[in-house]
Chains A and B, each alone.
Chain A
Amino acid sequence: MSAGVSASTGRVAARRDAAAGTARRFHRSRVARRGYGWLLIAILTTIVLLFPLYWMAVTSVTPITDLLTLHPPIVPALSHLELSNYSATFRTYPVLSWLANSALITVGTVALSLVVSVPAGYALSRMGAGGATSAGLLMLVTRVIPGTLLLIPFFVMFSTLHLLNTLQGLVLADTTIIVPFAAWLLKGFFDSVPRELEQAALVDGCSQWTAFVRVVVPLASPGIGATAIYAVILGWSDYLFSKTLLIDPTHWTITVGAASLISDLTVNWSGLMAMGVISVVPMIIAFVVLEPFLVSGMAAGSVVG
C-alpha cells in the first residue's frame, strides 16, 4: 500500500478490523453470557405473564374448600388434587357438542373468510391507490361500530334469512367481522408479490384467475396462514354473536356454554375453571401448532415495514 491516503485508510482499516475482531470476540463471548441472561429474563417474564393460566389450571383440580381460604395453595400438593371437576363437567353438560359446534363454526369461518378476503386483498392490492384507500377505510370503519349495537340488527337480518339458531348463520356473522381486517392484511402481503410474476404468467397464456391462483396465492401463503390464524382465534372466541344468534342449548358454542356455568344461584369456582380450561385447551393446541406461521407470516409480508 502507498503512503498518505492509503496509509491512513490502512490505519483506519486496521483499526476497524481490530475493533471488529475485538467486537467479534467480545460479541461471541458476550453472546454466550447474554444468551443465558436473556433466557433468565424470558423465564421470569413468562412465569408472570402466564400465571393466570397456571392458576386457572390449578383451581380446576383443587377442591373448592381448599380455595376459599386466606392461604390459597399456589403450588398445591399433588396428593390434594382431583379431577372430579372435569368428570362432573363432562357429565352434567353437553361439553362435547359445544366443542364440536365451536370447531365446526371455526373451520367454516376460516374457510369462508379466506375465500372472501384472499381475492379481495389481491384486488385491493392491484387496484392501486384507490384500492389502498378503500382497504384502509373499510378496515377501520368496521372497527368503529360498537358490537352491542349490531346485536338487534343482526338478529333481525338473520331471522329474515332463516339463519337463526344455525351454525352457518354464525359462520356468516363471524366472517363479516373478520373480512375487513383480513382483506387489509392480505393486501399488504400481496403488495410484496411483484406484479411482474403474474404479468409473466399472462404472457404465457394464463387467464387472470389462473395467474392469481397459481402464481400469486402460493407466494402469499405466509400471509394467508397469518390471516387464517387470526380467523381461528376470532371464530373460536366469539361470545356476543353466539349468545345472541344461537338459541337452543344444543347449538351453543363452548364460550356460551362456559358462561352458562355462572348460573344465577351459585358459582363453583373449581368447576368454572375446569370449564375454562376445557374451552381454552383446543385453542392453545391450535395456537402452538400455527403460531410459527403467524410471526414468520407477519414478518415476511413486511406488513408494517
Chain B
Amino acid sequence: MHYAKVRLLACAGALALAITACGSSGGGTSASGSVTLDFPSWQENEPGYAQFYQSMISEFEKNHKNVKIHFYEVTYDNYVQTITTRMAAGNPPDILVLPLTSYAQFAAQGELAPLDSYLNKTDILSSWSPLQKSLEVNGHYYNVLMQGAGFALYVNKQILAAHHLSIPTTVPRLLSECKQLTGSGNYGIAMPTAQDPSAFNDASLFISGEGQSVLSGTSYDLTSPGVESAISQYRQLASCAAPGLVSDQMRQVYFSGKAAMMLDGTFGLPNIETEGTASVKKNTVMVSFPVPHQVSYVSSTLSIPASIPDSDKQLAWDFIEQCTTPASQALFVKDIKSPAPRVSVDSSADIPFGSVQTAAVNGANMIPDNPKFVQNYTEIDTDFGAALSKLVASKAAVGPVMSQLQQQLPPVG
C-alpha cells in the first residue's frame, strides 16, 4: 500500500510534467518559412496604446504575408529586467520599446542596431519632434521617438471653486493655493513624495521651467541661486502633498478626490477616465504647469536589437517605419489622445486640452544637450531621487544637499 503511494507520487510527478509540457514559447522561424517577430511591451494592455499597436500590427501583417508579430505584455516594473536578461542570453525581442531610463545605455553598450541607413531613406529626421535629436548616441541614431511627453497640472475645478480659488497661472500662486487647500486629510496637490524614478523629471520641471539649467558648460551647477530657489519651490509644493507616496500611489489620491490638483505627465487623462470618481472625471481640467518655460522629455522609443539576423532587422524596421507614416501618426493621435511625434500632424483640435498638450510636448527637452548626460541618466536620476527624498523627508537646508548631490553625480565632461 505504501509502495503504491510512492508509485502514485512518481506518476503524479511525471503527469504534472507532461501536462505542463503543453506550454511552449513562440518566436523564430517555423518550418513553413513564416517568421514571427517578438514584440513585448508594457503598453500592451494600456488603453489607447493597445488599440494603436494592434492596428499597426494588423496592417503590417496584411502587407507582409509570411510574417506575424507576437505582441504581448511585460509589466513595467519587470520590463528592464526582462529585456536585460534576454539580451544577456543572446535572445532579445525583435522590436524593442524602450523608456527614457534605458535607451541610451543599451545603445552605448552596442546592444541596439544603428538606424541611420534606414532613417536616411525616410523623412523622419526632418519631420519629427525636436526630441528625436536628443536620441543621438555617439553620433548615430539607435532609436526612433514614439512618444514625447510634457508636464501638466490637472485641476479639480469643483474643489477650487468650493474654496473660491481660481486656476493658478504662476508658481507662487500655485504654492499659496495649495497651502490653503491642504488640511483635514485633503491635500492641495498630488505628486510623488517618496523616492521615485521620476525624480529628475520633477526637479527638471522646476529647474528648467524657471529657465535654469543643471549644467554650466560640462560641469554641474546645482548651487547657483536660481537652481536653489527652483528646488525650494519644489520642496514647498511637495509639503502640500500626501507624504511618502510614489507616483503610482499618488495618482490614487487625486482620482479619489482627496487632492485638488495633480502634477503629472501629459498622458494622464485616460487614467482619470478609468479610475477617477464620477465627480473627479467631470470636473478635471488640464492646464499647463504654471512655470514660465514648458519642459518636455522622451517617453518611449522604438529600436531594433543588434544581434538579430539582418532579414529580421529589415522586417522590424518595416514595422517601425509603418508606425511613422502620416496616416499612422494620425491614428496615434486618435487612439492615444496625445500629440504625435510627427510635427505636421496637428493634434490640437482632436484631443482633449489639445493646445495644452501640444505646448507641453514642444517644450525644451529636460535632458541637457550633453552626450554623456543621457548615457549616465539612470545614475543621475537615482542620485537626484536620493537628494530630493532627503529634502522632502527632512528639514535639511537645500544648499548643502544640492552641493553634496553635485559631488556624487557622474561626470559628464
Touching in the complex, A and B, CB below 8 A? yes
Q: Measuring CB to CB, which residues of chain A are less than 8 angstroms from any residue of chain B?
A: 64-65, 68-70, 104-105, 107-108, 111-112, 114-115, 118, 151-152, 155-156, 159, 164-168, 171, 210, 213-214, 217-218, 221, 243-244, 247-249, 251, 259-260, 262-269
A171 vs B13: C-alpha distance in the bound complex, in angstroms? 10
B23 on the A face (CB < 8 A) = yes
In the bound complex, do residue A156 and residue B88 qualify as a contact, i.e. CB atoms below 8 Å apart?
Answer: yes
Q: Which residues of B contact A118 (CB under 8 A)?
A: 6
- Chain B 11-33: CB-based contact to A (< 8 A → 1; otherwise 0): 01110110111011100000000
Q: Which residues of B contact A264 (CB under 8 A)?
A: 42, 76-77, 248
Q: How far is the CB of B156 from the nearest CB of chain A, in Å?
A: 14
In the bound complex, do residue B25 and residue A108 qualify as a contact, i.e. CB atoms below 8 Å apart?
Answer: no
In the complex, which residue of chain B has the Cβ closest to the Cβ of A221?
Answer: B2
Query: Most chain-A CB neighbours within 10 Å: which of B17, B72, B76, B258?
Result: B17
In the bound complex, do residue A263 and residue B85 qualify as a contact, i.e. CB atoms below 8 Å apart?
Answer: no
Instruction: Decide: A214 near B251, CB < 8 A? Known: A68-B256, A108-B17, A166-B21.
Output: no
In the bound complex, do residue A166 and residue B255 qualify as a contact, i.e. CB atoms below 8 Å apart?
Answer: no
In the bound complex, do residue B252 and residue A267 qualify as a contact, i.e. CB atoms below 8 Å apart?
Answer: yes
B126 on the A face (CB < 8 A) = no
In the bound complex, do residue B91 and residue A159 qualify as a contact, i.e. CB atoms below 8 Å apart?
Answer: yes
A165 vs B10: C-alpha distance in the bound complex, in angstroms? 24
Q: Which residues of A contact B76 (CB under 8 A)?
A: 263-264
- Listed by A's residue number, 14 A-B pairs whose Cβ atoms lie within 8 Å are A68-B252, A108-B13, A108-B16, A152-B85, A155-B86, A156-B89, A165-B23, A166-B20, A166-B24, A166-B25, A167-B21, A214-B2, A251-B23, A264-B76
In the bound complex, do residue A217 and residue B82 qualify as a contact, i.e. CB atoms below 8 Å apart?
Answer: no
In the bound complex, do residue B89 and residue A104 qualify as a contact, i.e. CB atoms below 8 Å apart?
Answer: no
Q: Which residues of A contact B2 (CB under 8 A)?
A: 213-214, 217-218, 221
Q: Which residues of A contact B17 (CB under 8 A)?
A: 108, 112, 168, 171
In the bound complex, do residue B185 and residue A265 qualify as a contact, i.e. CB atoms below 8 Å apart?
Answer: no
B249 on the A face (CB < 8 A) = yes
In the complex, which residue of chain A has the Cβ closest to the Cβ of B17?
Answer: A168
A167 vs B75: C-alpha distance in the bound complex, in angstroms? 19
Q: Which residues of A contact B305 (CB under 8 A)?
A: none
In the bound complex, do residue B19 and residue A104 qualify as a contact, i.e. CB atoms below 8 Å apart?
Answer: yes
Query: Most chain-B CB neighbours within 10 Å: which of A114, A251, A264?
Result: A264
B81 on the A face (CB < 8 A) = yes
Q: Which residues of B contact A168 (CB under 8 A)?
A: 17, 20-21, 23
In the bound complex, do residue B252 and residue A64 qualify as a contact, i.e. CB atoms below 8 Å apart?
Answer: yes
Q: Which residues of A contact B85 (CB under 8 A)?
A: 151-152, 155, 244
Q: Measuring CB to CB, which residues of chain B are less than 8 angstroms from any residue of chain A?
A: 2-3, 5-6, 9-10, 12-14, 16-17, 19-21, 23-25, 40, 42, 46, 72-78, 81-82, 85-86, 88-89, 91, 184-185, 248-249, 251-253, 255-258, 271, 275, 277
A118 vs B13: C-alpha distance in the bound complex, in angstroms? 14
Q: How far is the CB of B407 from the nearest CB of chain A, in Å?
A: 29
In the complex, which residue of chain B has the Cβ closest to the Cβ of A148?
Answer: B81
A210 vs B3: C-alpha distance in the bound complex, in angstroms? 9
In the complex, which residue of chain B has the Cβ closest to the Cβ of A111?
Answer: B13
A112 vs B248: C-alpha distance in the bound complex, in angstroms? 40
A168 vs B42: C-alpha distance in the bound complex, in angstroms? 26
Instruction: Decide: A247 near B82, CB < 8 A? Known: A64-B256, A108-B13, A115-B13.
Output: yes
Q: How far is the CB of A102 from the nearest CB of chain B, in Å?
A: 11
Q: Which residues of A contact B73 (CB under 8 A)?
A: 249, 260
Q: Which residues of B contact A114 (CB under 8 A)?
A: 9, 13
In the bound complex, do residue B23 and residue A259 qualify as a contact, i.e. CB atoms below 8 Å apart?
Answer: no
In the bound complex, do residue B75 and residue A159 qualify as a contact, i.e. CB atoms below 8 Å apart?
Answer: no
In the bound complex, do residue B253 and residue A68 qualify as a contact, i.e. CB atoms below 8 Å apart?
Answer: yes
Q: Which residues of A contact B6 (CB under 8 A)?
A: 118, 213, 217
A105 vs B130: C-alpha distance in the bound complex, in angstroms? 49
Q: Which residues of A contact B249 (CB under 8 A)?
A: 267
Q: Which residues of B contact A107 (CB under 8 A)?
A: 12, 16
In the complex, which residue of chain A has the Cβ closest to the Cβ of B267?
Answer: A265
Q: Which residues of B contact A108 (CB under 8 A)?
A: 13, 16-17, 20
Instruction: Decide: A152 near B10, CB < 8 A? Known: A68-B252, A217-B2, A265-B248.
Output: no
Q: Which residues of B contact A171 (CB under 8 A)?
A: 16-17, 20
In the bound complex, do residue B252 and residue A266 qualify as a contact, i.e. CB atoms below 8 Å apart?
Answer: yes
A166 vs B248: C-alpha distance in the bound complex, in angstroms? 31
8 closest cross-chain pairs (CB), A and B: A111-B13, A167-B20, A108-B16, A218-B2, A264-B76, A165-B25, A260-B75, A70-B185
A284 vs B50: C-alpha distance in the bound complex, in angstroms? 36
A12 vs B144: C-alpha distance in the bound complex, in angstroms? 97
A-B contact sample (18 more), CB < 8 A, given A68-B258, A111-B12: A68-B252, A69-B185, A107-B12, A108-B16, A155-B89, A156-B89, A159-B91, A166-B24, A167-B20, A168-B21, A210-B3, A214-B2, A218-B2, A259-B77, A259-B78, A263-B76, A263-B248, A266-B251
